[in-house]
Amino acid sequence: MKPRWPLYILLLAFALGCEPKEPQLFFELDTITPLAGQKGSTFVLEGSPFSAVAAENVVMFGEVRAAVTQATPTRLTVEVPTGLPFGQHEVTLSRQDVAPTTFLFRVTENPLPVVTRIVPDSGSVGTLITLYGAHLGQDADHVKVAFMEPDGSFYQSEPGASPFEPLVRSTPDSLQVRVPAHAQTGEIRLWIDAEGPTQQERFNVSTPVFQVVP
């Protein structure tokens, strides 16, 4: 004869079997490009494990959901919602069976400056180089340029440090500067002040690598 289990034991076993399980997967975000942008612009998340179905990836700026316009298991393209205030926002990424993760994104009033290429991309001290891109400042007074130092830093951006490199020429889509004596191979750093309709914003812009040769 089979044993008869008390009803409360059967109910307890059923309840334990129905308890929700904690997500066993976690997001790994490798890059977020860019980390700032205007309303309606897009940024790209690279990492895993995303869903290839765009609607299954939930990206929230606070309580405002952003549209995921393209999705693969390792890459998401996200559109910045139009109804957000300017400034820094905490963004939450989630999907079913994956623990949520958060990151910061700055909604800007002005277009994001970008440097796409340096011509020439290598040179010795004194070489005149041109940085090409877009939204590179209204005039030379609003743009600061610093080359990488021997210790890998950009200490010229610190208060009281030596001055930034003087610009030879400045337009909204190109900057010209000469390679200084202290420059080392690496990216060049720009600080650009942009005046918008209601506020001034400062952008920290990195460039492609420039190679310093003897």
Is residue 92 within 8 A of residue 29, CB to CB? The reply is no
Query: Longest Cα pair distance anywhere in the chain, in angstroms?
Result: 97
- Domain annotation for the chain: domains and CATH numbers: 23-107 (2.60.40.10), 114-212 (2.60.40.10)
pTM of the model: 0.74
Measure the CA dihedral 23/25/31/35, to 10°: 0
For residue 202, CA distances in Å to 3, 17, 153 come to: 76, 55, 20
Structure tokens that stand for 82 in this block: 């139009």
The per-residue pLDDT string of the chain (214 residues; one tens digit each, 9 = 90 and over) reads: 455 556 555 455 555 555 555 657 999 999 999 999 999 999 999 999 999 999 999 999 999 999 999 999 999 999 999 999 999 999 999 999 999 999 999 999 998 899 999 999 999 999 999 999 999 986 788 888 989 888 777 755 444 455 578 889 999 999 999 999 889 999 998 888 887 777 778 888 889 999 999 8
Rounded Cα distance, 214 and 211, in Å: 10
